[in-house]
Structure 1
Amino acid sequence: MRAPEGDLAEHAADLLERLRARQPRVHCITNAVAQTFTPNVLLAAGAIPSMTVSPDEVAAFSARADALLVNLGTFDAGRRAATEMALAQVTKDGKPWVLDPVLIDRSPPRADYARSLLAHRPAAIRMNAEEFATLSGGGLPQDFAASWGTIVAITGETDIVSDGSRTFSIANGHPLMGRVTAMGCSESALVAAALALEPDPLKAVAAAVLIVGVAGNIAGEAANGPGSFGVHILDALFNLDRAALRARARVSS
């Protein structure tokens, strides 16, 4: 599997410049513990978040957004209703949406719901290896991506991003990322922001994953533990530039 032409670090730097200039709006249906950190990550990177799950207004907010995040971390009836309304709106408008199937490996009802959402054709799915195994039933990320016409991003020690025919492996990040609540949730939101700007979905998702990974490297060097890491990664995203992406990117195909 070959990655697309060009240097992903350069694509990521270009994307970050566009993100800061155009400030795409991302509507986030996410879990209760991510309601603060996720919008702060989007704001630090240059995007504009909205977070309501109210059935009276979620369609209106989705209509104003450039992309949608559906995160299943809080699996309640209200968020499921909001998800259906938001998906109806962005599907009608032809806008990209991202599925984050949080902890579906722990809950069969949640896993069943995540599988049902595949029919709505997410532009990308960001998850960890256990969540991918549950959602896919086994097999390769490339095969699942090709079958569903989506971008699969499996994040972990080495991140895998694939559209079925092209694949990136990204070895950036820091162990403390796994010690901060909503780190993965916020990464999914940044993926949605990237998809709002970049016409090549694979480049969009891989660039967003690389941006978060490099910011994690930088934050980890300054942090004394998970508490300070959460602050430092916001600063790292805000200050991230082309030189840092070029110097730190660890990408293979």
Structure 2
Amino acid sequence: MTRTTASGPDAHDLPALAGLLLDRLRSERIRVHAITNSVAQAFTANLLLAAGGIPSLTVAPNEVPFFTQRSDALLVNLGTLDGERREAISLGIAAARDHGKPWVLDPVFVEASPSRLEFARSCLSRAPRILRCNAGEFRALAECDAGPPALQAFARSHGTVIALTGEIDWITDGARIVRIHNGHSLMAHVTAIGCAGTALIAAFSALHDNALEAAAAAVLVTGVAGDIAGADAKGPGSFQPAFLDAVFNLDTASLAAQGRVS
């Protein structure tokens, strides 16, 4: 696998880069090992498959290091954080670091549990390439509101890229900020959309050396797919399959036509 570098011709045109990474994901069949919550497992696998990747999902501690080694990237999601997942996460991160695999942290509901927050901070100390969170999760981790200066300062101090998703998605490496204005309101009414989107971030991080651009490209893909699915969906029940269809059929032309990036 050859990574796209930040100096490539598409690196400064986010829709074009997103389309390029989608094409490569489909041709190279990037494998993501997703240690994710039980609610999100099926949708995470389906999103990766629709985008062209390959998922694996075991949370068994005796298997996770081996599945991580044979994958191209690791997703760590803190939802349904039972004892087995805590052990699996620690082993998976160690394997990713030992074998040079990028890993992405999704600190689900850290604002709801002091023990989960403590565990998330321990994970952060082990240098995830990208942190994907929402405003409430960031507020708990950083102990401040999620404005651009706070996001940049947190990214710099932890040596990571932050992808903060919400009505507007903010992605920063501590210096640059990318804002993405795509996405549909129905995304908030379907469980695991955000969790599954983080798996796509992990896949793109295995393909592209610039973590900011990889994260922003993946967030753009999910946002545009949400817009396309929401245009015809009649509610959450029809939105979910429409979203997967949109990801499956997405291309550079659609991303360029519908992407709203600033």
TM band (smaller chain): over 0.9
Q: CA deviation at 1:33?
A: 0.4
Give the alignment's TM-score, normalised by structure 2.
Answer: 0.93
Cα distance in 2 between the residues matched to 1:153 and 1:55: 28
Cα distance in 2 between the residues matched to 1:56 and 1:160: 37
What residue number does 1:40 align with? 46
What residue number does 2:4 align with? none
What residue number does 1:94 align with? 100
What residue number does 1:29 align with? 35
Amino acid across the alignment from 2:25: L
Q: CA deviation at 1:30?
A: 0.5
Cα distance in 2 between the residues matched to 1:19 and 1:8: 16
What residue number does 2:216 align with? 206
Cα distance in 1 between the residues matched to 2:209 and 2:22: 14
Q: CA deviation at 1:144?
A: 0.5
- The correspondence for 1:82, drawn from 75, 79, 88, is 88
Which structure 2 segments of 5+ residues have no match? 1-6
Amino acid across the alignment from 1:65: S
- The correspondence for 2:174, drawn from 151, 161, 164, is 164
Amino acid across the alignment from 1:130: G
Q: CA deviation at 1:10?
A: 1.0
Question: Are 1:149 and 2:155 matched, yes or no?
Answer: no
Q: CA deviation at 1:6?
A: 2.0
Amino acid across the alignment from 1:222: D
Which structure 1 segments of 5+ residues have no match? none
Q: Secondary structure of 1:49's match?
A: strand
What residue number does 1:219 align with? 229
Cα distance in 2 between the residues matched to 1:169 and 1:61: 34
Amino acid across the alignment from 2:154: F
Cα distance in 1 between the residues matched to 2:261 and 2:123: 30
Cα distance in 2 between the residues matched to 1:99 and 1:190: 12
- The correspondence for 1:7, drawn from 13, 38, 41, is 13
- The correspondence for 1:188, drawn from 198, 207, 222, is 198
Amino acid across the alignment from 1:80: R
What residue number does 2:139 align with? 133
Q: Secondary structure of 2:20's match?
A: helix
Amino acid across the alignment from 1:181: T
Could you say what the CA RMSD is over the residues aligned between the two structures, in angstroms? 1.1
- The correspondence for 2:187, drawn from 164, 177, 181, is 177
Question: Are 1:108 and 2:114 matched, yes or no?
Answer: yes
Q: CA deviation at 1:55?
A: 1.6
- The correspondence for 1:51, drawn from 46, 49, 57, is 57
Cα distance in 1 between the residues matched to 2:255 and 2:221: 7
Query: Structure 1 residue runs of 4+, over 4 Å off?
Result: none
What residue number does 1:236 align with? 246
Q: CA deviation at 1:150?
A: 0.5
Cα distance in 1 between the residues matched to 2:157 and 2:125: 12
Cα distance in 2 between the residues matched to 1:192 and 1:10: 19
Q: CA deviation at 1:137?
A: 1.4
Q: Secondary structure of 1:251's match?
A: coil
Cα distance in 1 between the residues matched to 2:102 and 2:142: 21
Give the alignment's TM-score, normalised by structure 1.
Answer: 0.97
Q: How many residues align?
A: 249
Cα distance in 2 between the residues matched to 1:6 and 1:126: 22
Aligned residues: percent identity? 55
Q: Deviations over 1:207-231 (max 9, x none)?
A: 0000000000000012110011110
Cα distance in 2 between the residues matched to 1:69 and 1:6: 26
Structure 1 residues 138-147 or 236-245, which shifts more? 138-147
